[in-house]
Structure 1
């Protein structure tokens, strides 16, 4: 898809769905706009490469629901998302030169890496939270990983969140001038 704009229905829906029978998919210069709900790109299988994708006001920007493929996201821009990138299954994730601006209010995540994901790499990626004091039990998290594999953050800039990075398993590598700025009383890295 090149130069395409997709608007989701008020109740949500899915912008692009990559089924489990697909071996590879390329999404270029794609814009997906929601109204606070739904999924921008839903991946069930195959290797998926995105370049210049713009996603706004959805529940999940990129959701790898299952599968063992590689998801590569280059030069993306997300705004007003509850979860920017949510990767499950046993595949790998590579994000290069992206910006994720999180939605205001409620609990939000920039990137979530599930327990079976083998490897995730974020390079030159910026994650921006609302920055103001949280309300109730809501939390804003930059990157959370439960993967037993390796998660690498290089030249990553995280700001305006309650917790910059949460890692509960596996190997976490942070290098190349990563910058994490949390709100007052927040936590930079939690392992």
Structure 2
């Protein structure tokens, strides 16, 4: 059966905990030691399904029990772009965005942030140009988190690329498949 984006609706609430227990039970938990930007004002800007996914993710991140399978730290999660003097341009390099237009959920390890946009998509904010990069998007947070759990499991040797490649291809996410910036290209 071919996996679809619709199949992953509700993944964070329904299946994330089991996947994390299966592949990352020994990982250190995410600990937010500093106060981070509240998520509630941003949730109000999202469609109901996208708000439910981010609320479920937020509960797990703030619980102190979710394994660190992504780079989620208090200086990343809910990052205050304006308060840190950072600009945000949309991928057209012209449209200025504000903190109200995105919510950072993780880092990529190179200074760039994965952020949920008000349309529910997840994209990379590229720190060097302060822009939401084109061709880095995932349709929604459920798809992003599902993909990142498996990506990290492959990187950690708990799954093989062959175990996930057909599903990644079927989902067709720019953030995973884009030539050059897609994460699938970094998997051996």
Q: TM-score, normalised by structure 2?
A: 0.26
Q: Which structure has more helix as a fraction of its residues?
A: 2
Q: Which structure has more strand as a fraction of its residues?
A: 1
Higher relative contact order (CA 8 A, sep 6+): 2
Q: TM-score, normalised by structure 1?
A: 0.26
